[in-house]
Structure 1
Amino acid sequence: MTLTDRLNGINLYLIGMMGAGKSSTGAALAQTLGYQFFDTDAVIEAAAGQSIPDIFATQGEAVFRQLETKVLAELSAYRRLVIATGGGIVTQQINWSYLHHGIVVWLDAPLDVLQARLAGDAGRPLLQGQDWETKLTTLLTQRQRLYTQADVQVRVAAEDDVEAIAARTLALIDQRIRSEADSAVLN
C-alpha cells in the first residue's frame, strides 16, 4: 500500500514562517502524491484581484486575515489537496478547525535560513520598513508555539533542496500514519 493509499484523500496543510519553502515544497508534494496544489496567498490574490501587499496597504491586515480564513474554509471542503498556507494563518483560532481536517505539516526553518531567503524580498507586507530582521524574529517568536501544534514537524536546513524537504516530509507523514494505525490496533 502506497502513502497515497494510506492518506485516503486526506489533505496536507503546510504551515510555517514566510520563506520556509511551503509553496515550493507543497507543489513537489502534490506532484508526488497525485494531489492538487493550492497556495492560499495565490488564491486570495486571484479572488481579490489584487496582490497581498496591496490588500495590506488598502484594506489592512484584518481584512487579509478574513480572506485567508474564507479561502481556507473553502479549500478544506475538498480532498486530495496539498495547501501551502500563509505564515500567519495559525494566529486565527478558527483556522485550526479547518487545518485539523487534514494533516498539518510545519516546515520549521531556523531564523538564519529565513533571513537569508527573505533578504531584499519586497513582497512581504509584515517585513516592510527598517529593521525587518527584528520584525521577522518577533513574528517567529510569537508564532512558534502555534506551529508546534502541527501533526508533523519537518526541519529545514539551508543546504536542503525542495526534493530533499519533500522526501523528508513524506517519510515523516508516512511514519505518523503508521504509528496512528498501530496505536488504533492496540486500543
Structure 2
Amino acid sequence: MAIESPSPASVTPGLPGSLEGLNIYLVGMMGAGKSSVGRPLAQALGYRFIDADSVLEQHAGCSIPELFEQRGEAGFRELESAVLNRIACWHSLVVATGGGVVSRPCNWGQMRQGLVVWLDADELLLLERLRADPGQRPLLATADPEARLRQLLSERRPLYSQADLRVPQDGRPATAVAEQVLESIPKVLRQRVAPPQAPDQLIDENGTSSASLNTAAELR
C-alpha cells in the first residue's frame, strides 16, 4: 500500500528553505517506526529518504544478522559508523538510523551536523510490534527477547534523550507523526540560532525545552 505524505498545507511555509539542506536523523528503538515516518517526512520536505541499515547491507554485501555473526557487535558498530560517515557527506536527507547508532560518540558527531529526532515509542508498543513482526533482530536473538528489549530500552533512553527533538510514537499513523515533526522543526531551528544559554537542550513535541544529557561519558 502506498504511503501517504503529509499534505503541503501541513508544512510550515519556507521550512525546506530554512533547513538549508540539513539532514534529519531519526533515532529510536527497533520497531519505533523510523522508516515508516521517514518516508512521508522526506516527501513533505522534498528530501531523499535513506535507510541506514539498508545502505549498510548493500555496502557489506550481506544481511545485518550475517554481519553480527561474522564480525560481532563491535565489528558491526565500526561498519555502521563508517556508513554513517559517508551518509553525512550528503545533504537534504531524512535518515532512518539503526537502533544502536546512539551508542558511539563519533556517530553523534556526524548526526549533530543535522537535526536529530527521537521517535520515543513506549515499551508496550515496542513489545506489541516485536510480537507481530519478530524479524531478523540479532540483539534480540536470546531465550527471552522481551526481557532483552526492556534492557536495551533502559540502556538507550538516556542516549536517545540527547536528540534535538523528542516526538512520542504512540501508534498513530506514520503521517501524523511526520506532521508533528514538521510542526516542531522551526522551534528547534530557532533555538539553534539563539544566543546559547542552555546549550544542547532537548525539545519535546510541544516545543518545551528540558535539559538533556550531553557528555561523552554518558554516551559510553
- Using structure 2 for the length normalisation, give the TM-score: 0.80
Percent of aligned pairs sharing the same letter:
45
1:128 paired with 2:153, answer no
1:45 paired with 2:37, answer no
Residue from 153, 176, 185 that aligns with 1:164: 176
Question: Using the alignment, how far apart are the partners of 1:121 and 1:82 within structure 2?
Answer: 25
Question: Equivalent residue of 1:17, what SS?
Answer: coil
For residue 5 of structure 1, what is the aligned residue in structure 2? 17
Are the aligned partners of 2:142 and 2:148 in contact in 1 as well (CA < 8 Å)? no
Listed one character per residue, the Cα deviations across residues 96-129 of structure 1 (whole Å, up to 9, x for unaligned) are 1101000000000000001111114131110113
1:147 paired with 2:175, answer no
96-105 or 118-127, larger mean C-alpha shift: 118-127
Are the aligned partners of 2:26 and 2:116 in contact in 1 as well (CA < 8 Å)? yes
Partner AA of 1:140 in structure 2: L
Are the aligned partners of 1:122 and 1:128 in contact in 2 as well (CA < 8 Å)? no
Partner AA of 1:10 in structure 2: L
Structure having greater relative contact order (Cα 8 Å, sep ≥ 6): 1
Question: Using the alignment, how far apart are the partners of 2:120 and 2:147 within structure 1?
Answer: 18
Partner AA of 2:145 in structure 1: W
Residue from 89, 95, 113 that aligns with 1:77: 89
How many residue pairs align between the two structures? 183
Moved over 3 A (4+): 178-184
146-155 or 21-30, larger mean C-alpha shift: 21-30
Report the alpha carbon displacement of residue 172 of structure 1 after superposing the two structures with TM: 1.2
Question: Using the alignment, how far apart are the partners of 1:96 and 1:58 within structure 2?
Answer: 26
Could you tell me which runs of 5 or more consecutive residues in structure 1 were left unpaired when the two chains were aligned. none
1:104 paired with 2:116, answer yes
Partner AA of 1:167 in structure 2: E
For residue 33 of structure 2, what is the aligned residue in structure 1? 21
For 1:168-183, what aligned pairs fall within 5 Å after superposition? Answer: 168-181=180-193
Bigger share in helix: 1
CA-based RMSD = 1.4
For residue 86 of structure 1, what is the aligned residue in structure 2? 98
173-182 or 96-105, larger mean C-alpha shift: 173-182
- Using structure 1 for the length normalisation, give the TM-score: 0.93
Could you tell me which runs of 5 or more consecutive residues in structure 2 were left unpaired when the two chains were aligned. 1-12, 197-220
Question: Using the alignment, how far apart are the partners of 2:119 and 2:135 within structure 1?
Answer: 22
Listed one character per residue, the Cα deviations across residues 33-83 of structure 1 (whole Å, up to 9, x for unaligned) are 111111110001001111101111122111110111001101111110111
Report the alpha carbon displacement of residue 178 of structure 1 after superposing the two structures with TM: 3.4
Question: Equivalent residue of 1:60, what SS?
Answer: helix
Partner AA of 2:169 in structure 1: V
Partner AA of 1:75 in structure 2: I
Are the aligned partners of 1:14 and 1:105 in contact in 2 as well (CA < 8 Å)? yes
